Amino acid sequence: MRFYFPIILLPIILMSVQPAKASEPEIEVRAFEQSSTDVFDVLTQIMQADAAYAAGEYAAALESYRFVYFHDRGQERATLGYANSALATGQIALADSLFKTLKSDAARTGQVLCAVMQGTTAHPEAALRLRLETAADDSRVWNALGHVLDADGRGAQARQAYAMAGLAGQRAGLTENNLGQSFLMEGDWDTAQTHFTRAVLQAPGQARFDNNRRLTMMLKGNFAEAISGVAPDRASQLLGDAGIIAARKKELILAKTLFETAQSLSPVYDQALNSHIDRLNTQIQAQL
């Protein structure tokens, strides 16, 4: 990792000065001084941004890196951090534009991740595997490969990639959450719930992991336990998400029950939920 230190501007040394005449006023020459406060602010923002990013607080990291970037666009460390934070918060176009201003290998990794996420690369698996030849310690590349493999129906290979991401080092709970999502896509809800529960235990403050755990409980029909302690609007959203998954797995009766329960808990009438219910009623009748 590179560290950049402030450049101290030295006073200009006058190599040749003619003696002043007695009648002429003496001119005081002052050197330009760089504000130590500005330098301190920049370094403080970088340290705060690094700490926030390492803790998974990507929105906070984004703001701190952005401050430094607009203060000094030559700060490559801040620019890379700004790009990585933008990528982590889903601002893919911004991240890609920032990565392209840098020439480091880390920036090249960022460009490949952006291309895969934007769907602009014809062969995402090949692109990611090629990048792993020089970035095997970047868990994001392993996770991206896992997502590509999962989408292609190769769950076992995807889970190997997620395990490698865990070995490369990433924030607590993420490996278990990704494994849970992989089993969820295969319809193995028991195993998915096991991994989501582990993710919650490893990172209790991550709402996404808890949402996934509750969602699998709903898919298993444990509605009361799944929505225990959850606000009605959040419970309705989770039930609706579970209904979509159940419908995709052709669990029509379960999907209908999930949508109807979501509608009953929704603070307002949800036309989208009603449309799902009507569609399922038609499909169920067609099977009778």
Burial class of residue 64 in the structure, from the number of CB atoms within 10 Å of its CB (0-12 exposed, 13-18 middle, 19+ buried): buried
Determine whether 89 is exposed, middle or buried from the number of CB atoms within 10 Å of its CB (0-12, 13-18, 19+).
middle
What's the predicted TM-score (pTM) here?
A: 0.80
Provide the residue-wise pLDDT of the chain in tens; the chain has 288 residues: 443 434 333 333 333 434 444 444 454 444 334 444 477 778 888 999 999 999 889 999 999 999 999 988 889 999 999 999 999 999 999 999 999 999 999 999 999 999 999 999 999 999 999 999 999 999 999 999 999 999 999 999 999 999 999 999 999 999 999 999 999 999 999 999 999 999 999 999 899 999 999 999 999 989 889 999 999 999 999 999 999 999 999 999 999 999 999 999 987 778 889 999 999 999 998 887
Distance separating alpha carbons of residues 90 and 114, to the nearest angstrom: 10
CA separation for the pair 167, 160 (Å, rounded):
11
What distance in Å separates the CA atoms of residue 220 and residue 231, rounded to the nearest whole number? 20
Q: Where are the domains of the chain?
A: 35-117, 122-171, 172-210, 227-288
Architecture of the domain spanning 35-117: Alpha Horseshoe (1.25)
CA 46 – CA 49 distance, rounded (Å): 5
Query: Which DSSP helix (H) or strand (E) runs through 218?
Result: helix 207-219
Q: How far apart are the first and last CA of the chain?
A: 65
